[in-house]
Amino acid sequence: MAQAPAPAPSQDGDDPYLWLEDVGGDKALDWVKARNAESTAALADSKAFEQTRERILEVLDSDARIPGVVKMGAYYYNFWRDKTHQRGLWRRTTLDEYRKDSPAWETILDLDALGKKENENWVWHGAECLRPYDGRCLLSLSRGGADATVVREFDLKTRDFVADGFRLAEAKSSVNWIDIDTLFVGTDTGAGSMTRSGYPRIAKRWKRSTPIESATVVYEGTADDLSINAYHDDTPGFERDFVRRTIDFYSSQTFVIGKDGKQARLPIPDDANGSVHREWLTVETRMPWTVDGKTYPGGALLAAKFDDFMAGKRELVVLFEPTETTSLAGYSWTRHHLIVNQLDDVKSVLTVLTPADGAWKRSTLPGAPKLSTVSATAIDADDSDDYFMTVAGYLEPTTLYRGVIGEAKAEVLKRTPAFFDASRLDVAQHFVKSKDGTRIPYFIVAPRDLRKNGANPTLLYGYGGFEVSLQPGYAAVAGRAWLEKGGVYVVANIRGGGEYGPRWHQAALKQNRLRAYEDFAAVAEDLIARKITSPAHLGIQGGSNGGLLMGNMTVLYPKLFGAVVCQVPLLDMKRYSHLLAGASWMAEYGDPDKAEEWQYIRTFSPYQNVRKDVKYPPVLFTTSTRDDRVHPGHARKMMARMREQGHDVTYYENIEGGHGGAADNRQAAFMQALAYTFLWQHLK
């Protein structure tokens, strides 16, 4: 195992690049525009770049993509972007139409037309509709892709916004219908109304035609909480009101609001996740939980009758219990059943659980293919046992099935066409031991006749944080821009993720963060040892927390890589908790303002650890001016510091895009083409 360099002397004094944290300042934007001009000239001014961009855009704009739908009432709703509708259409159809190769869609809202009419660069952020889903909705619209949205009331019958209807100014708001004239809401109403993380601190009950300032306070959290939100469960016969205090990313408290306004706390641990469906309470544990002398492990899924549990009974049923190789990936209720999605060594397994006479029957989901990434979700949990099942692999185009639990076989509704030639490619899963002996899985997609001569251009992708699992999915863009051209594609399932449940995530939290980077280095070294590639031909890519991973692999393991693509990254871990939503991630990384925690945080803060006298691989930094989650100052400052030190660095900042980096398909194709062009330039 390669040894990571010791951290550089702390650079906690004056930061010469603080001015780059002024997101929209003239001086900072002039710097951004100059860097963008340099990177565009270096990467985008070629026939090869344009061909790559066009090939990627064909995938993103293709009418043959599967339109994902959500059932509301009698209709199936979809939001759709293509080459004609860059910002998108909100539309709907019936199930009979959806079954067709070319369904007839009814347009509800044309976002391109709305943006043109209102002179706004609107980006769709979703709709919250009032049951029975034939009247009013609350639409969330973002300027340029930021997390903050404007919320406006919309009438499905008139296809227009409601004059003098509910409306919230731009903020990271939380809204939920109670009834036609009442909302639960949390939003920015001035000083003290938001948490340090930038989310609502106060949940209110807001009546129509009254000012938001006079809305009734339901719950107030503290400034150090992540967020507070109240919500109404409108399941017929099981209507309930709740408020959730999210303390940090992994701790929360849920309260049931009685008809008398009194609140009763759901008696589960703060680090567990409770969910209520009809008469059932389900609890996902993160840590071991002892109840009435019995201990349930972290990563388990438990069930109890909700009313009985609130009354003091503790009759819990274990629906899922993890093993060394299995973890809970998710679950979804239908009307009478619970579909449990689990992973076994990062491969999908589906089980149907049915409550009956105090027991739960177990069966496999018929027709679920093996050795693929498979997920199943209810279509309408209130009225049917219908489900959608999605199946995909790195080389297998996505297939959407519709089934009914209790029936033998699900029907194929949609198939994505093959966007690249996979006939000469294979997928394999390998395992490697990390520095501390932990077994780390990774997937590799490569030509079947691959020559193990150490010269294959190889792209290694990773994330390793926030309990996020990286599962196989159809690699349409990577297939066109990387695999078809002879590249090898690798995905590392490092600690910090959720591939083996909470324990896998917790193993790389805070003071143990370096384990994630040791895991990633172990995968890279295994690829080199097996002569799949060599440092000169090995590139790496990641975004957000994966951007922090890229920054650390660059400064800690510079000899392992030939090129780095670092996207929408965290990099200055000394200041991250003071920038935008950064305070919400202290449960993941620690608090840099506490001296004892800064001592370990500084070991994985790339901005403080980059050195002038070390040779680093070439790095491409990309971010977005409109990213109001991870501050663009991270990438800006790291680029400026490395540039000053004389390193080979390239930078591009999309003026729109939010944390996703792009506000529409054209921007996404441009940004992805930049990354692949950069990698090919340095790894061939």
Residue 14 pLDDT: 81
The C-alpha atoms of residue 243 and residue 67 are separated, in whole angstroms, by 33
Q: Enumerate residues 6+ apart whose C-beta is below 8 A from 74.
A: 94
Burial class of residue 606 (count of CB atoms within 10 Å of its CB; 0-12, 13-18, 19+): buried
Torsion of Cα atoms, 76 then 77 then 82 then 87, to 10°: 180
Distance (Å, rounded) from C-alpha 632 to C-alpha 658?
A: 10
Name residues whose C-beta falls within 8 Å of residue 543's C-beta, 6 or more positions apart in sequence. Answer: 566, 567, 568, 569, 661
Task: Read off the DSSP letter of residue 407.
Answer: B
- Residue-wise over 380-412: b if at least 16 C-beta within 10 A, else e? ebbeebbbbbbbbbbbbbbbbbbbebeeeebee
DSSP 368: P
**Tens digit of each residue's pLDDT (9 = 90 or more) over 448-501:** 999 999 999 999 999 999 999 999 999 999 999 999 999 999 999 999 999 999
Strands 458-461 and 538-543: what pairing? parallel
Q: Please report which residue ranges of 473-544 form alpha helices under DSSP H.
A: 476-478, 502-506, 514-529
Q: Is 544 a catalytic residue?
A: yes
Torsion-angle region of 237 (φ positive above 0: left; ψ -120 to 50: alpha; else: beta):
left
Q: Can you spell out the DSSP letters for 452-487? A: -SS---EEEE----TT--------HHHIIIIITTT-
Tell me how many degrees the CA angle 144-35-480 measures, rounded to the nearest 5. Answer: 70
Lateral strand order in the sheet of 326-333: 326-333, 338-344, 347-356, 359-364
Convert the pLDDT of each residue in 397-431 to its tens digit. 999 999 999 988 899 999 999 999 999 999 999 99
pLDDT at 7 > cutoff 50: no
618 pLDDT band, cuts 50/70/90, is very high
Residue 605 pLDDT exceeds 90: yes
> Please, what is the average pLDDT of the chain?
96
- Asked if pLDDT for residue 151 goes beyond 50, the answer is yes
Helix (H) or strand (E) holding 669: helix 665-683
CB distance 227 to 174 below 8 Å: yes
**pLDDT score recorded for residue 9:** 46
pTM above 0.85, yes or no: yes
For residue 203, pLDDT over 80 is answered with yes
Residue 478, amino acid: A
pLDDT bracket for residue 3 (50, 70, 90)? low
Confidence of residue 395 (pLDDT cuts 50, 70, 90): very high
11-57 pLDDT, tens digit each: 555 899 999 999 999 999 999 999 999 999 999 999 999 999 999 99
Residue 460, Cβ density class (10 Å: 0-12 exposed, 13-18 middle, ≥19 buried): buried
Q: What distance in Å separates the CA atoms of residue 620 and residue 624, rounded to the nearest whole number?
A: 14
In the annotation, is 659 catalytic?
yes
Q: Which of 155, 156, 187 has its CA nearest to residue 77?
A: 156
Dist CA 590 CA 598 (whole Å): 8
Cα–Cα distance list, 561 to 436, 475, 523 (Å): 22, 23, 12
| Rounded Cα–Cα distance for residues 132 and 559 (Å) | 60
Any idea what the Cα angle at residue 455 is, between residues 450 and 457, rounded to 5°? 80
Residues 218/203, Cβ–Cβ less than 8 Å: yes
Residue-wise pLDDT tens digits, 518-558: 999 999 999 999 999 999 999 999 999 999 999 999 999 99
- Work out the end-to-end distance of the chain between its first and last CA atoms, rounded to an integer number of angstroms: 26
Q: List, in order, residues 6 or more apart from 61 with CB less than 8 Å away.
A: 81, 82, 83, 665
The pairing of beta strand 338-344 with beta strand 149-155: unpaired
State residue 1's pLDDT score: 61
Of 232, 277, 631, 659, the catalytic one is 659
Give dist(CA 108, CA 155) in Å, integer.
Answer: 10
Q: What does the block give as tokens for 96? A: 């009979």
Cβ contact 341:375 at 8 Å: yes
Sequence-ordered alpha helix ranges (H) in 79-181: 95-98, 111-118
The tokens for 555 are 């400064």
> Cα Rg for the chain, rounded, in angstroms?
25
C-alpha span between 103 and 197 (Å, rounded) = 43
* Catalytic-labelled residue, pool 197, 544, 605, 624: 544
Peptide linkage before 132 cis (omega within 30 of 0): yes
Distance CA 337, CA 354 (A): 5
Give the 3-state secondary structure of residue 19.
helix
Q: Say yes or no to pLDDT of 369 above 80.
A: no
